[in-house]
Amino acid sequence: MKKFYFVSIFIFTHIFFIFFQIHKHSKVIRLSYCKQKSEQQKEQLTQQVQDLTQQLYRLKERSAIKKYAQQEMGMRKVRLAQVKKLSQMGQE
């Protein structure tokens, strides 16, 4: 009877450890997929930051601002004849 009890506990313990190893392995695989997905998302976001930074620098260029002002807003350079001097009140 003692031998049967020992054998049954021994088998049960080994089965428990087998299931524990399977669970551990599946968790490792799941976490590796999460890590891979996070790394891909990080690469995408890094690329997006670089693209937006380049776009910002392009928009800050004086030539781009001048071109936008002339084409979209209809602005032109100011001629010297258009400038008028205003006198301050009380200082005539």
- The pLDDT tens digits of the residues spanning 44-53 come to 999 999 999 9
| ∠ CA 73-63-59, rounded to 5° | 80
- The pLDDT tens digits of the residues spanning 14-40 come to 999 999 999 999 999 999 999 999 999
Domain that holds residue 64: 2-74
What's the rounded Cα separation, in Å, for the pair 82 and 64?
Answer: 25
Classify residue 87: in a domain, yes or no.
Answer: no
Structure confidence at residue 72 as a pLDDT band (50, 70, 90): confident
Q: Please, are residues 74 and 67 in contact by the beta-carbon 8 Å criterion?
A: no
Classify residue 66: in a domain, yes or no.
Answer: yes
Domain count of the fold of the chain: 1
Classify residue 64: in a domain, yes or no.
Answer: yes
Classify residue 85: in a domain, yes or no.
Answer: no
| ∠ CA 77-69-71, rounded to 5° | 100
Q: Please, are residues 69 and 75 in contact by the beta-carbon 8 Å criterion?
A: yes
- The pLDDT tens digits of the residues spanning 51-66 come to 999 999 988 888 888 8
For residue 91, the model assigns a pLDDT of: 60
